Amino acid sequence: MRHGEAVQVQYVDLADSAAQAEYAHVMEVIEQRSLPYPLVAIDGRLRLAGTAAYYQVLPLVEEALSPEAEEVAD
C-alpha cells in the first residue's frame, strides 16, 4: 500500500438494511441531495459521489494526510 497503516479503508454496503439503519444520517443526506452511489467519505466527510476511482480518491487521501490538514484538525 502506498500509505501503509496511515490509511484505513472501510466498505459499507448501503443496500443492506442493517447498514442503512447504522448509517441513517448518511441515508438522509443521500435522499435529500439525490446522490449517486458509490460515495467516498474521508475522515467522516463526504468527498465524492458517483465515483470511487483510485485517481480521484488518491489526491483527497493525500490532502487529508498532509501536515497542513493535521494543523487544521487540531
Between 74 and 12, whose confidence is greater?
12
- For the stretch 25-62, what's the b/e string if a residue is b when 16 or more beta carbons lie within 10 angstroms of its beta carbon? ebeeebeeeeeeeebbebeeeeebbeeeeeeebeebbe
- Percentage of the chain surpassing pLDDT 90? 65
pTM reported for the whole predicted model? 0.75
Listed in sequence order, the DSSP H helices in the chain are: 17-22, 24-33, 54-65, 67-73
Residue 72 confidence (pLDDT): 54
Domain ranges of the chain: 4-73
Mean pLDDT of all residues belonging to the chain:
87
pLDDT tens per residue, range 16-44:
999 999 999 999 999 999 999 999 999 88
